[in-house]
A and B are shown apart, each in its own frame.
Chain A
Amino acid sequence: MNVKYMYSLLAVIVLFLLAYLGVEAAGLRMLFGIVIPYVAVGVFLLGVIYRVMGWARSAVPFQIPSTCGQQKSLPWIKPNKIDNPFTPGAVVVRMFLEVCCFRSLFRNTRNAIKEGKLIFEWEIWLWVAALAFHYAFLTVIIRHMRLFTNPVPVCIQMVEKLDSFFRFEILTNTMQVGLPGFYLSGLILLAAVTFLLLRRMMIPQVRYISQAADYFPLFLIFGIAFTGILMRYFTKVDIVAAKELAMGLVSFHPAIPARAIGGVFYVHLFFVCTLLAYFPFSKLMHMGGIFLSPTRNLPGNSRAVRHVNPWNYPVEVHTYEEYEEEFREKMIEAGLPVEKE
């Protein structure tokens, strides 16, 4: 057993019990339904601002893009405008592809030594899973806005409609899926998160580098997706009451609805709050960090446009005069020109 993922799994189980028992046994609906969500959102916003401004405070002394393609040089040599951007506009394109399409991850290969030869294979699955995970999560967040807006904006209804275009219904004695409509994003999120978790646990090298901080968000997001799916298709929840609670929070008239909402709902909410509050202090800040990564967000034009280092201090140098002073005799003898005969 690997203690690192056990720690994380344990933490998520404890969180589950806290919320479930807190609501079902201790009746702490105010705490889990109102206080914690507000605190979590506050911590998230302030935390993100604090971290990003912390990065902004650090200087960018040198222009160090990773140049992943032909530079712009002679007019008849075709430059790679995206992977070695020369202008700010091209940097924007590079960053867009990086942020929205995970371009660098798309390059991923895998290699192994077989019979003394280094064999390369294209490795696409990490890219596929990462992309699926992030876009599914984004879709899930957007469609949840139906619970935080009234009236629900058309664009959000559109996302919902798209997400549930796949009509998929199962009806058995134990299980009923499809009414309400089946959301693809939830399933993809759960599948992707499971893949990413298994990948971390199964591949020896990846397991070796993984920290508890890598498993925890995966377990937590698994928990979020799982409780969400559980509520929607299996245990069911009074969605109108849930929306009343959500609307109370976002309109600053928080109130616990008179009609009870199940414990699973509070677990779901508490998981989300934990994720929000945890976000700024974790690796999840890669969401902001990628925009500030100096190897990606700077143009490769440092020979054409001078970059200024804000702390460029004068340094001790060995001047030509000192050099000539030491070697003058020998230089004259060898016929090398000197400043002072």
Chain B
Amino acid sequence: MNDRKYIIAGLVIFIAIFTFPFWYNLGKASPGPDIKLTEKAKAAKQCVMPTEYMRAEHMHLLDIWRHAVVRNSDRTFVNASGKEFTMSLSNTCLDCHSNKAEFCDKCHDYASVRPYCFDCHIDNPKEKK
């Protein structure tokens, strides 16, 4: 058939597009992000919530904090074990995790996430109490 060549060409294009992630990553070693904890963070052992929770839901927690602070001027967070924290990205989170480039950005870049938190909270500025 004289149209076989067009059909095969079409199939090749389709397969090329479909297998894009396979050949795009070919020969590239892509280990997961290797995040570094600061000494202070290491010393604390545990974040405000368990690590598992923090990994998946830190953005959720931050949203709740923002809401509590901005809408209800409630600045104190009490976690499950009764420990108290000030709800502040700059003063609490980034106090321990002061190495944004080595900690926050690693995973955000890896997962192609661009949180708008850092549009304002740049370079770890301390907020006035």
Residues of A near any B CB (own CB < 8 A)? 44-45, 48-49, 52-53, 55-56, 59-60, 145-153, 156-157, 160-161, 169, 171, 176, 178-180, 236-241, 243-244, 247, 250-252, 257, 259, 288, 291-292, 310
Contact = CB atoms under 8 A, between A and B. Distances in A.
7 contacts: A49-B15, A60-B3, A145-B21, A146-B112, A152-B112, A171-B67, A176-B63
A60 B21 contact: no
Interface in B67-88: 67
Contacts of A257: 32
Contacts of B21: 145, 148-149, 250
Given A53-B11, A56-B7, A179-B60, 20 more contacts: A44-B18, A59-B1, A145-B21, A146-B111, A148-B24, A148-B25, A149-B25, A150-B25, A150-B28, A153-B24, A156-B112, A171-B67, A179-B115, A238-B55, A239-B113, A240-B32, A240-B107, A251-B29, A288-B14, A291-B10
A60 B7 contact: no
Interface residues of B, number: 40
Given A146-B111, A291-B10, A251 B1 contact: no
A243 B32 contact: yes
Nearest to A150: B30
A43 to B, nearest CB: 13
Given A149-B25, A251-B25, A310 B60 contact: no
A243 to B, nearest CB: 6
A52 B107 CA distance: 41
Interface of B: 1, 3-4, 7-8, 10-11, 14-15, 18-22, 24-26, 28-30, 32-33, 52, 55-57, 59-60, 62-64, 67, 107, 109-115
B30 A251 contact: yes
Given A149-B25, A244-B32, A236 B111 contact: no
Contacts of A252: 22
A56 B4 contact: yes
A150 B29 CA distance: 9
Contacts of A49: 11, 15
Contacts of B111: 146-147, 239-240, 243
Given A148-B21, A180-B113, A257-B32, A237 B56 contact: yes
A290 B2 CA distance: 18
A227 to B, nearest CB: 15
A149 B107 CA distance: 14
A179 B60 CA distance: 7
